[in-house]
Amino acid sequence: MPNPPTRDSIISRVVRLMGAFDRTQPSMTLSMLARRAGLPMTTTHRLVDELVRHGLIERQPGGDLRVGLRMWELAARGSHALSLKEIALPFMEDVQSALGQHTTLAVLDRGSVLYVERLSHPDSPLDAAHIAQRMPIHASSSGLVLLAHSPTNFQAEVLAGDLEKVTPETVTDPAVLRRQLADIRQRGFIAVPGIGRTEWTGVAVPVFGPDNRIAAALNAIIPREDTGIPRVVAALVTAAHGISRALGAESPRRGFPVA
C-alpha cells in the first residue's frame, strides 16, 4: 500500500531522510530509505537526487545510499560539540589510560542524552555508548548528572514525562529520581549499576562551562562487579576539573568533588 501524502515541509522531509540512517543501517536502497523515512517513493526519489547533487547523500557503486562527507563537513563548521570534544579529548585520554575502560562525553540535546565522544578500550568486554548514540535522560548516569545540574523547570518537565523502563533496574519513580538528583548535586558524581545496560555500572561527573553552567557529563563504563569506584571517580573528577577550566568555568564549584 503506498505511503499517504505528507504535508511536511521540505526541510522536515529532508530531516526524516537523513535521520533514517543510523549505526545499524548506514547504507540502504532507495526503497528502504523511503520506508524508513515514511515518505512516498516519488518524494524520496526527487529529494535524494537533490541531496546527491549537493553531496549530502552519496550513491555507492552498487546503488545503495549513505550519508555523504559533505554533510559531515557542514556539521563540523562551528559545531559546539566539536569544540567541546577537542578540549575534552586529551583529558579523556588520561582517564582511559588510568582506568582501562570506555570513557564517554555526553550532552543534553532535544530531550535526550547525546554522546559526542567515546574512547574505547580494546580490553573492555563492554559495548559502551557510541558516538551519536542517544539515551533517555533518566536511564544513563550521564543523563542523571546533566539533569541534576539543569534548571528546575527542565527537571520537572523530564520527571513529569514518560519514563521508559529500559532495564529492570531503571528508576522511573519521580520521587526516587528527585532524591538521586539531590544526591548528585551534594556528592558531585553518580555511580549506578544496570539502569541503561544490566551488565555495567556508569560512573559520571559534571563538566561546567562559562558562568558555571552545566556543559557536559564525563563518564566511565565499568563492569558492575568492579569495586574500584573511588578510583574511577577520582580520575573522572580530575579530568572534569581540567575540562571545566578550559571551557571557562570558575573553580572550584560548590558541590563538585575535590580530586
| pLDDT, average across residues 223-237 | 93
4: in domain = no
258: in domain = no
pLDDT in tens, 88-114: 999 999 999 999 888 999 999 989 999
In this structure, the answer to whether residues 236 and 168 fall within a common structural domain is yes
Taking a C-beta distance cutoff of 8 angstroms, is the pair 81, 107 a contact?
yes
Of the residues 24, 44, 75, which one is the last residue of a structural domain?
A: 75
In this structure, the answer to whether residues 86 and 209 fall within a common structural domain is yes
In this structure, the answer to whether residues 49 and 108 fall within a common structural domain is no
| pLDDT, average across residues 207-216 | 94
Domain count, the chain: 2
pLDDT in tens, 124-151: 655 655 555 789 999 999 999 999 999 9
Measure Cα distances from 226 to 101, 192, 208 in Å: 11, 12, 28
- Domain range for 150: 80-247
CATH of the domain at 31: 1.10.10.10
Of the residues 29, 56, 75, which one is the last residue of a structural domain?
A: 75
Selection from 152, 155, 142, 144 nearest residue 116 by Cα: 142
In this structure, the answer to whether residues 99 and 171 fall within a common structural domain is yes
pTM of the model as a whole: 0.75
In this structure, the answer to whether residues 85 and 71 fall within a common structural domain is no
In this structure, the answer to whether residues 138 and 93 fall within a common structural domain is yes
In the chain, the DSSP E strands lie at 27-28, 57-59, 65-67, 102-109, 112-119, 134-135, 190-193, 200-208, 214-223
In this structure, the answer to whether residues 20 and 130 fall within a common structural domain is no
Q: Give residue 118's pLDDT band: very low, low, confident or very high (50, 70, 90).
A: confident
In this structure, the answer to whether residues 95 and 175 fall within a common structural domain is yes
Of the residues 75, 108, 131, which one is the last residue of a structural domain?
A: 75
In this structure, the answer to whether residues 144 and 129 fall within a common structural domain is yes
In this structure, the answer to whether residues 130 and 179 fall within a common structural domain is yes
Reply yes or no on whether the pLDDT at 24 is more than 50: yes
In this structure, the answer to whether residues 106 and 172 fall within a common structural domain is yes
Reply yes or no on whether the pLDDT at 259 is more than 90: no
pLDDT in tens, 145-194: 999 999 999 999 999 999 999 999 999 999 999 999 999 999 999 999 99
Reply yes or no on whether the pLDDT at 1 is more than 50: no
